Amino acid sequence: MNNSNIKEKILIIDFGGQYNQLIARRVRELNVYSEVKGFENISLKEVLEFEPTGIIFTGGPQSAYGKDAPSIDEKIFEIGVPILGICYGAQLMAHILGGKIDTAPTSEYGHTKTFIKDKNSILNGLDDNTVVWMSHTDCISKVPQGFEITACTENCPVAAMENRNKKLYAVQFHPEVNHTIQGRKILENFVIDICGCSGSWQMGIYADDQIKILREKIGSGKVLCALSGGVDSSVAATLLSKAVGKQLTCVFVDHGLLRKNEAEEVSQVFGPNGKYELNFIMVDAKDRYYEKLKGVTEPEEKRKIIGEEFIRIFEEEAKKIGAVDYLVQGTIYPDVIESGLGKSAVIKSHHNVGGLPDYVDFKEIVEPLRMLFKDEVRNLGRELDLPEYIVSRQPFPGPGLAIRIIGEVNADKVKIVQDADAIYREEIGKAGLDKEISQYFAALTNMRSVGVMGDFRTYDYAIALRAVKTSDFMTAEAYDIPWEVLQRIMNRIVNEVDHVNRVVYDITSKPPGTIEFE
Ligand code: XMP
């Protein structure tokens, strides 16, 4: 299983906790490569083959002494690789090595004051009293032989313990969560000082490594990628093109619902005049989509038509290419959370490209970004020399502008919203707010109203400006764009975009609104 060239790496063994990928991410932030493997998917032999520099056991929802509790081969404690157990991982270490676990008299959840008893430990450099993030009902009541208690809280006698000789460390709390104020320092102590990693890993090394792994895996097989022009599918396609060149075919569907110039921009990067070696097929399906969407006003019906039509087009193109071995998906870690960790890869309906068919004849799905967070994907894109306008792109929904045009969609309305949106994006960029706002776009309301331009009466559309701040896109607040910037945008839109005589600013949070209009 170890066909990686990366020498220093932390293996994270997952016992089902909710922050597990976050641990991997925190380690990567220290410039040390790390990977998460489910405890049930990795044997001791595979651990040794992975050649980890250090191992972290994650938290998990069970009791270490419970029936069917996740466990690990106890010989792992003898292989001489430093191990850090977190929460459930700490209890498991104590349980296997002869300590005692009990239900705590008081569960601890949330910010918890912790007293550091021994700083000549993994807690080196921490304050005497520090706040950590706790989330547990069981606790270690007796440490195994050879272990010392290095921290405690009011209700938890063993908040941290270690056996320095054997390089075994355990913390009851979650150092990976930002609420643990000095959590980064603890992880740094483990990864750099205790494991001896140099902290020299970069995303470029990940890129080279993935290219090598993909090349070995795919061999001479044919690969197909549905390219949406969004960040994830663009980065995945680029990685694959560097790995297998012309064995890769990217299908890019212009459904006539893209942002202004988007089709041209994507073709420039990935088309025959671009710098990547791959087969690029752009399908001009604008008329086909407008025809299908004629008279349709109900949002869910629009979404369904768009998704289905995409599948039909993709199938047609796949058939033309013939036997495809691998299908590339730009799935990233937050998508994996949505579909449930540990499940096999499913092709989701709510994805950038609107749900791919699962009966196209391919052997396997390739998801090279599956373990990365969005900002890591953007960094990888930069390493692969993708242009910044692709790498830093705003999230854009699969159904595209159709769900930003309230009511019936047609080519004229698409043009209006494209032009207004382009002005909006340009001005937000000029105002230096583009990195500040999580998502922003113009939408075409279905409302027409009376205005006056020159000496003439107008009866035209209202454009709505949407801008939100959010970290998870599940909830969001309207972003407070400075008034003078809004006025500049309004002025330009009513002057430069035909058939718009009014601009409104949507200040609704989510909930009760959603980010998109439909
Ligand atoms: P809502 O409108 O549900 O949007 O608040 C939350 C986030 O999801 C994006 N979105 C989609 N993304 N396919 C996608 O890939 C879709 O069908 C879709 N619908 C909404 C939306 O842009 C926002 O970032």
Q: Strands 83-86, 168-171: parallel, antiparallel or unpaired by DSSP? A: parallel
Q: Which of 176, 262, 317, 518 is catalytic?
A: 176
399 CB under 6 A from ligand 1?
A: yes
Q: Where are the beta strands (DSSP E) in 31-71?
A: 33-38, 54-57
Question: Which residue's CA is the closest to the ligand 1 atom numbered 12?
Answer: 397
CA 24–ligand 1 middle distance (angstroms) = 26
Phi-psi category of residue 324: left, alpha or beta, with phi > 0 → left and psi -120 to 50 → alpha: beta
Domains in the chain, ordered, with CATH? Answer: 9-194 (3.40.50.880), 203-391 (3.40.50.620), 410-506 (3.30.300.10)
* 250 has catalytic annotation: no
pLDDT at 517 (0 to 100): 95
User: Rounded to whole angstroms, how far apart are CA atoms 469 and 471?
Assistant: 7
For residue 345, what are its two tokens? 């890869």
User: Rounded to whole angstroms, how far apart are CA atoms 149 and 139?
Assistant: 13
515 CB under 6 A from ligand 1?
A: yes
pLDDT at 471 (0 to 100): 77
Nearest to 234 by CA among 442, 385, 105: 385
For residue 135, what are its two tokens? 């989330």
Tens of each residue's pLDDT in the chain, 518 residues: 455 778 899 999 999 887 888 899 999 999 999 999 999 889 999 999 999 999 999 999 888 988 889 999 999 999 999 999 999 999 999 999 999 999 888 889 999 999 999 999 999 999 999 999 999 889 999 999 999 999 999 999 999 999 999 999 999 999 999 899 999 999 999 999 999 999 999 999 999 999 999 999 999 999 999 998 889 999 999 999 999 999 999 999 999 999 999 999 999 999 999 999 999 999 999 999 999 999 999 999 999 899 889 888 988 998 898 888 998 988 888 776 554 444 333 322 344 444 566 556 677 889 999 889 888 999 999 999 999 989 988 889 889 999 999 999 999 999 999 999 999 999 999 999 998 999 999 999 999 999 998 899 999 999 999 999 987 777 899 999 999 999 999 999 999 999 999 999 999 999 899 999 99
pLDDT at 301 (0 to 100): 92
Question: Which residue's CA is the closest to the ligand 1 atom numbered 11?
Answer: 397
- Ligand 1, closest atom to CA 516? 2
User: Rounded to whole angstroms, how far apart are CA atoms 190 and 241?
Assistant: 37
**Cα–chain center distance at 286:** 30
User: Rounded to whole angstroms, how far apart are CA atoms 502 and 489?
Assistant: 11
pTM: 0.80
* 477 has catalytic annotation: no
Asked if 454 and 423 count as a contact pair (C-beta separation under 8 A), the reply is no
CA 477–ligand 1 middle distance (angstroms) = 15
User: Exposed e or buried b for every residue in 453-489, given b needs 16+ CB within 10 A?
Assistant: eeeeebebbbbbbbbbebeeeeebebbebeeeebeeb
User: Rounded to whole angstroms, how far apart are CA atoms 467 and 192?
Assistant: 41
For residue 117, what are its two tokens? 């008893």
pLDDT at 376 (0 to 100): 92
